[in-house]
């Protein structure tokens, strides 16, 4: 069994990126007091997590209408802080909810190599308020949107040098972003 990293509850959580568009590294980072846990993610994992959180929070409002109000989050809590050395690279993530504590849990599992023993990867669990979840999801979508524009035909990023689009099948010139 792999190691488990757990912060319950977190004092702050964010998903953000370091670097220039096209070369950014994405992180999910949670803090509790002096403890900081940073894990590396992919851009699309951040996008999927943010969209999943928004949908999950809507479902929670349907199930628990008396819990519609969210706590307010300081924008300074959405900024990455050192250390930037990740504990692991994420393979998959999931969401859960504990109605007794009114906390959302983000579960991130380490990306496993083919050589790794089954169930040997690390797992991180971050217990957050619904307000922290919404603030992080909103911030994450803004971070993802700051990247390179996506090709309207194939959905792949377009770099400043141009873009080879397989959907154009070689019949049109490359798209150039100015």
Joined tokens for residue 126: 């971050």
Q: Is 91 helix (H, G, I), strand (E, B) or coil?
A: strand
Structural domains of the chain sorted by starting position, each given as residue range(s) with its CATH number in brackets = 4-147 (3.30.2450), 149-178 (no CATH)
Q: ω into residue 9 within 30 of 0, thus cis? A: yes
Whether residue 83 has a cis bond before it, omega within 30° of 0: yes
Q: Are 137 and 49 in contact (CB under 8 A)?
A: yes
Two structure tokens written together for 80: 């990455």
Decide if 134 contacts 127 (C-beta within 8 A).
no
Average pLDDT along the chain, 178 residues, taken 10 residues at a time: 92 95 93 96 96 96 90 92 92 96 97 80 96 97 87 76 71 53
CB atoms within 10 A of CB 98: 11
pLDDT of residue 178: 54
For 81-129, the pLDDT digits (tens) are 988 899 999 999 999 999 999 999 999 999 988 777 777 799 999 999 9
Q: Where are the beta strands (DSSP E) in the chain?
A: 4-7, 12-18, 25-32, 35-41, 90-98, 103-110, 123-128
């Amino acid at each position: 069994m792999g190691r488990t990293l757990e912060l319950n509850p977190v004092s702050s959580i964010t998903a953000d990126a370091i670097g220039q568009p096209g070369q950014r590294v994405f992180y999910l980072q949670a803090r509790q007091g002096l403890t900081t846990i940073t894990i590396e993610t992919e851009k699309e994992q951040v996008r999927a997590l943010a969209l999943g959180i928004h949908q999950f929070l809507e479902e929670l409002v349907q199930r628990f209408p008396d819990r519609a109000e969210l706590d307010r989050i300081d924008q300074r809590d959405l900024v990455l802080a050192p250390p930037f050395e990740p504990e692991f690279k994420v393979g998959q993530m999931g969401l859960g909810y504990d109605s007794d504590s009114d906390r959302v849990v983000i579960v991130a599992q380490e990306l496993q190599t083919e050589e790794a023993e089954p169930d040997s990867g690390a797992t991180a669990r971050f217990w957050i308020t619904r307000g922290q979840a919404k603030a992080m999801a909103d911030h994450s979508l803004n971070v993802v949107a700051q990247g390179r524009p996506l090709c309207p035909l194939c959905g792949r990023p377009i770099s400043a040098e141009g873009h080879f689009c397989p959907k154009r099948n070689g019949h049109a010139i490359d798209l150039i972003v100015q």
